[in-house]
Structure 1
Amino acid sequence: MTGADVKSQIRAKALELGFSDVGFARAEGLPEWKESLDAYVAEGRHGTMQWMAETAGRRADPKVLWPEARSVIVLGTNYAPAGDPLKLTRMPERGNVSVYARNRDYHDLVKRRLKALGRWMAEIWDCELKVFVDTAPVMEKPLAMQGGLGWRGRHTNIVSRRFGSWLFLAEVFTTLEIEPDRPESDHCGSCRACVEACPTNALDGEGRMDARRCISYLTIESKSPVPEELRPGLGNRLYGCDDCMAACPWNKFAPPTREPDFLPRVELTAPKLADLARLDEAGFREVFTASPVKRAGYERFMAGVMIAIGNSRRVELQGEAERRRDDPSPLIRDAARWALSVLGRQGPGQL
């Protein structure tokens, strides 16, 4: 069997299992990957994500992570929304959750498909392999570029000519020697739509991002209160942010996902801030069962709800913030008092 036959069989099987795109790369890191990562950490742009610094040595080179690896199969899963992903950000009395988190955790579905592909490969070629989906120190985006899935846009995410910015990435490291695909070239040109769309100016226009200003980091990863000067930029974004990706012109080619696990649940299509503000911890766990939102935790999420109430300028929501002004959680308490201070600065009758 030729190398081309191996590639075509793996590609066909991956597509059959539900993956949207497939590429092949060498299990080798390029020098610029490490240089870029080292600079990112040295400049502190990773914020409090200390794990990025601790795993930098393994992250920059697949061979360090697994010396036996010879090839990497890079896989993309389309999760493009059917409608306007930013519609809710223009409805200040509602809460906005990032498109990818409006239903079940994508890790579960993608991991099942990865394991099925891995079992099939092991049976056919008796090879060794390891599968990854955002759970190990793997530089997924550079590998996706090398495998031809797309290029890294100015928003730092992968852009595909077929799926725009809406791809979940995953990898199969294998001992098989597979001819790599041709890397995708950059097609951003002079476009700066993503840079200009960022509500907190986290992008520098040169393909670099400062996590400390990124709404996804502030609402998911950070354990500290959101800096007050950045809070207005959050708007009603409670978990993650889609603004830079939604602005990408290449999205016009992306077909809406048909995967049921990625379609928004009814209760997250336009949740009222007033309803979210009344959730206790048990209610939070119930609403967000099997959802990525649980990763943020109750306190971080509720602090986000309080910030969104302040940004809403809706005085009728003042009572919800008032109930939280003496919350046992310092994070929630701080956000509630900030919201009250913002709402209190409005004139009579203002909304």
Structure 2
Amino acid sequence: METINWGIIGCGDVTEKKSGPAFNKVPSSKLVAVMRRDADKAADYAARHQVSKWYSDANELLNDEEVNAIYVATPPSSHLDYAIAALQKGYPVYVEKPVTLNAKQAQQLADAVQHYNGRLIVAHYRRRLPIFLKIKALLEQYAIGDVRTVQLRLWQSRKPALVTKGSPNWRTQPELSGGGYFHDLAPHQLDLMLYFFGEPVHYQGFGLNQARANEADDHISGSILFKSNVVVNGSWCFNVAETENIDRCEMIGSEGSISFAVFGNSVTLKNKDGEQILDFEQPENIQLPMINSMVGYLNNEEPNPCTIEEAVTLMKIIDAFSTKIA
């Protein structure tokens, strides 16, 4: 098995615990270089994480002969350019979510993957967490019969507890993030819907800026109809009182229900056998199972855990849900 020597472009907060350390915990994987435009911060990251090389220029990292794979972990506004630059050099690429600012850019990236005959994986890492693998298995086993409707709610205060607080809040600058907190958090939820239910045939929604605390919309609503006739309704609001915070997904079927928090650790199953609460322990580095699967893919041992084509579909849904009406 070939060792995948990773270079990270954008060694910011998301890489501190969620992903960065995991590259050295997966067999046949090693983190060998990191890049951040702030040289002091790049050097500090490398020292703290025992990474042998650091750069403040992405081109220097891309020309490092030891590196043979790239992880793009910058804000979304630069995902497209960095990913294409890596593909041009023949590197496989792992890209943070959302994969780009919008569906048009996502399609440009998909076209580049095809043009360069490259390999690209999108960091929808919840697909590989045990809690969501269990939910998928329950659905496939018809534990709640045929799924009729799914109700998604993510309501948070103006400073969501779910968001990393260590860096300047680029998440509420649409030119950097694509939108607001919705663009940062909803990809996890909506990608799981695609993972669970397959091909969507119709989707629509709207977004508005109710509180006008910044330039980003803070209230988004949307619906998806899947080919399987499953209907998903979602509500995202980032201007509620802290006492009203909620993260809830309810799947109602013909013979029961499954409910859970997308950013939580337990699942409640109700059916003819009664009620069960299933608890899960998340990995210390939450992207580790995804990185393990990705390394397997790059060594031709398993399929791509999340393709750019799937991410294009997701971005089309996000764009539709973000249609401005006010």
TM value normalised by structure 1: 0.26
TM value normalised by structure 2: 0.27
For the pair shown, which has the larger CA radius of gyration, 1 or 2? 1
If each structure's helix is expressed as a fraction of its own residues, which one has the higher value? 1
